[in-house]
Chain A
Amino acid sequence: MKKLVLGAAMLLFAQFSFGQAVTDQAVIPVSVTLNAILRLTVTSGGNIVFVVNTIQQYEEGIEGTARTTTKFRVSSSRDFAVTMVPENVTHFTGLETGNVADFPITNVGYAMTAGAGAIDAATIKPLAATNSLVSNAAIGNEEYSLMWHLATSDVVDLATASLLIQSIPADIYVNNMFLTLAPQ
């Protein structure tokens, strides 16, 4: 019994000392959530059509115009890159005949004509299996222009590889282009 009373008394004294604490404090958790912002939207030129119906067009190709320009917008909270990959990486496909051997993708050219971070801006290049279009810092709602050209002198060697020289069978040749936006 004496031990018990002594123990209780010690507890009381300990508590008395504790009650005189001269500090008080709070600890508040801080949490930060950064969500991904990565958007690419094609705003116009989602379906580009070249109609070749004269010998001159077979010989010299068709220059790009506003009508053959794809426009897209990018919003990204990270530095980013836009790449373009054809669905069929070697040839366009003939809709009427299923021809997949006569219209190489290199007959089609493109040039980035507007937008921050456009790679080789205004330089016309033949389509490749993978095409790097943009490399830029994080940005909001930036508009890019991608102008298409068909078998012009900037795309093919007209002396050796014009559409006429290639003797491509008449058909409607199509291919899909995948635009990919990715953080760097």
Chain B
Amino acid sequence: MKKTAIQISCFRVLFLLLLLFYAQAAISRPVRLIYSGGTIPLYVTSLTQYENGIELANWTKIRIVIDTTNHKLPVGVYTKWRLTIYAGDNSIISDDGNPNLSLDYLKLRFVGFSANPEGYHSFPNETEPYSLSNSEKIFVEGTKLDGFEAEFGITYQFGVTDQSPSLMNLPWGFYYTQLHIKLELY
């Protein structure tokens, strides 16, 4: 009877320890990507929108935090960080059997990029607008790993004619893809 009570106590202690470790892991990762905005809904419902395209201004909000301090990472392995933004498919896929749409229809613009501290990041690719591809493409990268934060918003432009093909004569229907945003040390 006494032995069983001790065993139950051990279970409780172990369970609490597990919870603590999970909680610790959740709040102190060396890289964190926080985003809001959810699904990107692009509805083309009028002829004006077919002619001029549509825009979702400042729709997705991104915050990145990089801080390897107090993390036992392998020495000399990680020297930089990068944020890649890319499409999950090589086109915007039709759900109705129509031809898929080129990724060229969808462009990204970045709003209010602010970094702390400044001067430790760069944009290796054109960002105004930022074209999507199916392979990992670097949006922003940097070298400061021991305490860096940045925030920005993303504006989505679909079929805005000075940047992409016209939407006129595209088959009606539903199309989809996924936007991958990945923050990593390397």
Give the B-binding residues of A (Cβ under 8 A).
1, 4-5, 8, 11-12, 15-16, 18-37, 75, 77-79, 137-141
Contacts and interface: CB of A to CB of B under 8 A. Distances in A.
Contacts of A20: 29-30, 71-73
Contact of B183 (A8, A18, A25, A75): A25
Contact of B177 (A1, A30, A33, A35): A30
B39 A34 contact: no
B77 to A, nearest CB: 9
A29 B181 CA distance: 11
Contacts of B57: none
Interface in B144-186: 158, 167-186
A139 B48 CA distance: 10
A12 B186 CA distance: 26
Contact of A32 (B17, B92, B183, B186): B92
Q: What are the 7 closest A-B residue pairs judged by CB atoms, nearest first?
A: A19-B25, A23-B184, A22-B185, A32-B175, A138-B168, A25-B182, A24-B33
B38 A28 contact: yes
A31 B106 CA distance: 11
Given A15-B21, A25-B183, A28-B37, A77 B170 contact: yes
A22 B88 contact: no
Given A32-B174, A34-B170, A19 B47 contact: no
A11 B32 CA distance: 23
B172 A140 contact: no
B73 A12 contact: no
A37 B172 CA distance: 9
A5 B11 CA distance: 9
Interface in B13-72: 14, 17-18, 21-22, 24-25, 28-33, 35, 37-48, 50-51, 60, 71-72
Given A21-B29, A32-B158, A138-B168, A77 B179 contact: no
A138 to B, nearest CB: 4
A19 to B, nearest CB: 3
B184 A22 contact: yes
Nearest to B21: A15
Q: Taking each of A24, A137, A139, which has the highest tally of chain B beta carbons within 10 Å of its own beta carbon?
A: A24
Given A1-B10, A77-B169, A28 B60 contact: yes
12 contacts: A24-B33, A24-B183, A28-B37, A28-B178, A29-B176, A30-B176, A33-B44, A78-B169, A78-B170, A138-B50, A138-B169, A140-B51
